[in-house]
Amino acid sequence: MMLKLTELDSDNETANTDEVVTLPFEYRQKSRLLSRTDQGTQIGIFLPRGQTLRHGLVLTGQDKIRVRISAAPEALSVVCTDDNLLFARACYHLGNRHIPLQILPGELRFITDHVLDQMLMGLGLTVRHALLPFEPEHGAYHSHGH
């Protein structure tokens, strides 16, 4: 039997959850998804179109079972700098390519792409690779159903 998740839990921040589903960013962009929780329960996510499954979000359905969304670790390129101008240039060039980008103080993260890594190194930045959860800026990119 599949657990149907159709709405956001109103106690999202403080809710105890029954199960967790860990998903990479690619799947967290979908508002319709079949998957399994970390505990093995088959789930179907059926939310209004355009809803992004942010890390920590809690979903529920008619049976009131609560499932928390967890961002899976992914292969990311990580760029750190204290140089504000260089940081802004990196954001500009990545944003100009419509790259989903996680922006932290002095740090940028994006799904590893060696062409983009080379571009940033050409700007004088150091790029390292890490396996980390990815939570890009909300709404700065468009999926257009691709």
Q: What is the pLDDT of residues 9-31, one digit of tens each?
A: 877 666 688 999 999 999 999 88
The structural architecture, per CATH, of the domain 3-71 is Sandwich (2.60)
| Res. 47: pLDDT tops 90 | yes
pTM, to two decimals: 0.82
Give the pLDDT confidence score for residue 116 in this predicted structure: 97
Instruction: Give the domain ranges of the chain.
Output: 3-71, 73-133
CATH 3.90.1300.10 fits 73-133, yes or no: no
Q: Report in angstroms the alpha-carbon separations of 110 from 17, 24, 68, 96.
A: 29, 13, 23, 14
CA proximity to 27, closest of 18, 36, 39: 36
What six digits make up the tokens of 35?
């998957």
Cα three-residue angle 138-13-40, rounded to 5 degrees: 85
Q: What is the pLDDT of residues 56-67, one digit of tens each?
A: 999 999 888 999
- Segment (H or E) for 70: strand 67-71
